Structure 1
Amino acid sequence: MTQADSRKEIARLVAFGERKGLLEAADRHLATNALLDALRIEEPWQGEWSGEELRELDAMDSPVPILDRLLDDAADRGVLPDRSVTQRDLLDARLMGLLMPRPSETIRRFEELAREASVQEATDWFYRLAIETNYIRMDRIAKNAYWQAKTPYGELEITINLSKPEKDPKTIAAERSMPQGHYPKCLLCPENVGYAGRLNHPARQNLRVLPLELAGETWFFQYSPYVYYNEHCIVLNGRHVPMKLSEETFVRLFDVLDAFPHYFIGSNADLPIVGGSILSHDHFQGGRHTFAMDKAGEDAHFRHPAFPDVEAAIVRWPLSVIRLTGADRGELTRLAGKLLDGWRSHSDKAADILAFSRADDGTETPHNTITPIARRLEDGRYRLDLVLRNNRTTEEHPLGLFHPHAHLHHIKKENIGLIEVMGLAVLPGRLQQELEEIAGILSAAPSGEADWRREGHPLAAHADWIDELLGRYGGGRPLDEARQLVRDEVGSKYLEVLMDAGVFKRTQEGQEAFRRYLEEEGFQEIGDGA
């Protein structure tokens, strides 16, 4: 690309920003000069846009094509040290950050929209801002595989995460030689806003957050850059403090719902194995999506004499879920706090549930916690789903008794966090190619050979599963049919994952143990589920 082409692409990026409302005409020279400086170009483009070019600009919904051309040119001219995805991401976040309104201007615009239009219109605008500034990289997210799987518990959602680019070996080697950074302390700290990034920490010049007051503390609202579902948001503590569930957690969840009644909001559990990938910074996740668990029926209904206006139920779901519904958030908070405290100390040896393990020195390790999820219903009431969790490990199940067991690790080995609990599987990117190859085996003519059983074979981890599929379906199927069979079977595997994570099993004995626990907490059963 020539210097003239580069100058025109800078002008095109500024024009894109103006058309999307990222900046105004009065900001044009400032933005242009900042981009020229970042890309080491001396002068701006001085031409005029043709009518066709203006129409193309109006039709653009993403800056990625412009950024790609500018990044290629920057690599050609040595502005980028190499062509790795990591270096390109660091620079394109910087470029988009130069077009963005300041954080104070973003907050002012959001509050103005919420006041004069509605909170929903304000979040619509804020979500578009995150997409149009390429903070949410929709071009990558579109690569994720997604399908639904029918099960007795409703349609589970399956996604294979292909949106996180793999680092090349040079970048990995460079990271190892870098001094350990301590700022920001983690990916969720509010200090990430505007941060330039480094090889092992993403740039965040194009990140904006909104302040929230939750239970008298300052928290912040932002969108997740990975968007596993519609308007996937994160609400994070303004201080770098670890995840810790308490009765105050429910106060904060309801505060979020009062601020954003069209979103659900939930917290990962606060213990390893059953928690999320980040336990070091207190945060919630939410968004605008209905999960299979939300649609699930109820097996039994209960009342608590001390909380007569709260409806309680056991949810018909693979995991053990107590559903509380009511109009008085104070009552819901107190009852949820009581259940959290009761569950933390609850043991039932017949159900393999131990609240604590005791070390030789007498130290006790807690195992019981909760994954809470809250929503506002159409009638204005609050609904709080409390998913009971236990992170105990055993000799037979060293990664977790209530965690995917070893025979499922070829599909899912990672923690079962908030998103997966509700029925959306986030599976590793390696599966995309592996599942395609397995479909190929089911579509091939039977040969009697089983190369996948050979040590070191890319499909060796799936060997037993492949043999099982061949025994059930045979070979020689049309490829599209084979692909669908494999997807359906992955859905069945994910259901097994959820069943393993359930503390009270979906057996008569397990459900009786569940009822015993609720009775211990003072609940009275009032009738059959619906």
Structure 2
Amino acid sequence: MIYNAIDRLIAFGLAKGLLEENDVLYTRNKLLYTLGLSDYQGSGEVAECKEELAEILKDILKYAMEEGLVSDSITEQDLFDTKIMDCLLGRPSEIVAKFTALCRKSPKEATDWYYDFSKATNYIREDRIIKDVKWQADSPYGKLDITINLSKPEKDPKAIAAAKKLVQSGYPKCLLCRENEGFAGDMNKPARENHRIIPLTLGGENYFLQYSPYVYYNEHCIILNEGHVPMKIDRAVFLKLLEFTEKFPHYMAGSNADLPIVGGSILTHDHFQGGNYEFPMARAGLRTEVKFKGYEDIRAGVVNWPMSVIRLTGADYRKLAELADKILLLWRGYSDEEVDVYAESDGEPHNTITPIARRRGEDFEIDLVLRNNRTTEEFPLGIFHPHDKLHHIKKENIGLIEVMGLAVLPGRLKGEMDSLRTALLKGEDIRKDEVLAKHADWVDEFMARHKEFNEVNAEEIIRQEIGLVFSEVLTDAGVYKDDENGRKGILRFIERVNAL
């Protein structure tokens, strides 16, 4: 069986363009060595491959477990099948040369190839991504995108136990460091032997392009700094994001903010996120058009969105970055007690911006989302953070992806919502259920609006109500609320920018 699996994997590599005919014997020998085989007893024939990679790797892992090369730990198996896939791949320089040659012809052709390559190498595990639950939900601000993330496997108990025995290493320093390329991984860190990254220059600095292994949206990419340096929002970042959209006009690019609570999960390594995807916020129009003094050629306004967003659109991206920096510098030190915004407390800064860049035809566009991370005794996780009543659905930080209208919800919700649907249809009291009780107040609220709740529409109603919760999450995270006080407040801020 194992020799047949080797032949099928080589056939897969040929079909996906990972290998050429002259690579077959070399690749076979690498696979034999990796699997601890001293000879080859296959047919030597490479048939056309019509099966999914996951099925081939499943057979190889079965053999590896039988021979004691790997245990039944998911973590160990991920480490091992990554090593197997690396046998099919060229050196980083070969991948970079291919991407560069394609990019000269068409940036989109280059990213199309690189995205397909990242899936074919199993760096993006499509068999897991397909398990994610995705839908759209109506809101007062248009359709929001919702996903329940099921593709990122939780560490199994064996992996956790094994990780405790390991000597802790600081190499690579984090999951975004370029040193992850080709890294074998261990029980604490994922294998990246099948990982290849593409060098870029942005703002005269060295960056690298890669895709997220857990693609939350189409062609979800990461642009990471060559150095392990912390996140920082400034004029240089605005320029880099806009320059990236000049190089890859079919991609958007944005950055998490640079402060805890309102930032993303990794603030220690400078990076951006992008992709070939139109987020709900990009589809939102302007609530109010405004003008900025000295920048009359830039179209500007407040976006009709639950968070506080100033949009700038124009032909000269350097001028957009200049105005964005002017807005940022004022916002850093801006306080407005009427909306509970204070720039600092006890010397700790609270104001920053989440920026997102994209193209609008020949024009460039940048959205500046005003953020504030102040906490109080009433709101210890953040004033402008999902409040307690929403934590049963979403408690985590509202970072770049959520800001743009895509909810990435925890995997636990899939099982909870299935159980909730069943319980409601049976008329059970969920307050008596240890797992479902946290949803009880929310259920009472929405069931009062849905007297027609039945077997046919139950799932759709629950999904739409989750969407409304996410809309409230974004509203909580918004500095200036979509009410009279909030609308006046953001216009006061814009007037202050114009007074500079």
**How many Å apart are 1:434 and its aligned residue?**
0.6
Deviation string, structure 1 residues 490-511 (Cα, Å, up to 9, x no partner)? 0110000000000001110111
2:456 is matched with 480
1:508 is matched with 484
**How many Å apart are 1:479 and its aligned residue?**
2.4
Does 2:419 align with 1:437?
A: yes
Partner amino acid for 1:63?
L
Pick aligned residue for 1:140 from 128, 132, 137: 128
2:19 is matched with 23
* Unmatched runs of 5 consecutive residues or more in structure 1: 359-363, 525-530
Pick aligned residue for 1:36 from 24, 29, 32: 32
Deviation string, structure 1 residues 13-35 (Cα, Å, up to 9, x no partner)? 11211221112122212211111
1:287 is matched with 275
Deviation string, structure 1 residues 353-396 (Cα, Å, up to 9, x no partner)? 001011xxxxx000000000001111x11000000000111111
Deviation string, structure 1 residues 401-460 (Cα, Å, up to 9, x no partner)? 00000000000000101111011000000000111111112212x4xx62x324x71112
Pick aligned residue for 2:302 from 306, 314, 324: 314
Does 2:489 align with 1:496?
A: no
Deviation string, structure 1 residues 187-206 (Cα, Å, up to 9, x no partner)? 00000000000001000011
Partner SS for 2:138: strand
- Do 2:7 and 2:44's aligned partners in 1 also have CA atoms closer than 8 Å? no
Q: d(CA) in 2 for partners of 1:523 and 1:326?
A: 22
Does 2:208 align with 1:220?
A: yes
1:111 is matched with 100
Partner amino acid for 2:488?
E
Deviation string, structure 1 residues 141-168 (Cα, Å, up to 9, x no partner)? 1000111001120100110000011222
Partner SS for 2:416: helix
**How many Å apart are 1:223 and its aligned residue?**
0.5
2:73 is matched with 84
- Do 1:18 and 1:25's aligned partners in 2 also have CA atoms closer than 8 Å? yes
Partner SS for 2:184: coil
2:400 is matched with 418
Pick aligned residue for 2:314 from 314, 321, 326: 326
**How many Å apart are 1:48 and its aligned residue?**
5.0
Does 2:64 align with 1:74?
A: yes
- Do 1:236 and 1:284's aligned partners in 2 also have CA atoms closer than 8 Å? yes
CA RMSD of aligned residues (A): 1.5
Q: d(CA) in 1 for partners of 2:422 and 2:156?
A: 29
Partner amino acid for 2:341?
I
Aligned pairs for 1:335-374 within 5 A: 335-358=323-346, 364-374=347-357
Partner SS for 2:290: strand
Partner amino acid for 2:151?
S
| Stretch deviating more after TM superposition (478-487 or 137-146) | 478-487
Q: d(CA) in 1 for partners of 2:446 and 2:316?
A: 51
Deviation string, structure 1 residues 209-258 (Cα, Å, up to 9, x no partner)? 10011111110000110000100000000000010111110111122112
- Do 1:442 and 1:470's aligned partners in 2 also have CA atoms closer than 8 Å? no
Q: d(CA) in 2 for partners of 1:345 and 1:21?
A: 53
Partner SS for 1:309: coil
1:273 is matched with 261
1:453 is matched with 431
Q: d(CA) in 2 for partners of 1:182 and 1:390?
A: 32
- Do 2:312 and 2:366's aligned partners in 1 also have CA atoms closer than 8 Å? yes
Q: d(CA) in 1 for partners of 2:491 and 2:208?
A: 38
- Do 1:144 and 1:162's aligned partners in 2 also have CA atoms closer than 8 Å? yes
Aligned length: 500
2:8 is matched with 12
**How many Å apart are 1:333 and its aligned residue?**
1.0
1:64 is matched with 54
- Do 2:14 and 2:20's aligned partners in 1 also have CA atoms closer than 8 Å? yes
Q: TM-score, normalised by structure 1?
A: 0.92
Q: d(CA) in 2 for partners of 1:19 and 1:143?
A: 25
Pick aligned residue for 2:360 from 367, 370, 377: 377
Spell out structure 1 runs of 4+ moving beyond 6 A.
Answer: none
Partner amino acid for 1:68?
K
* Unmatched runs of 5 consecutive residues or more in structure 2: none
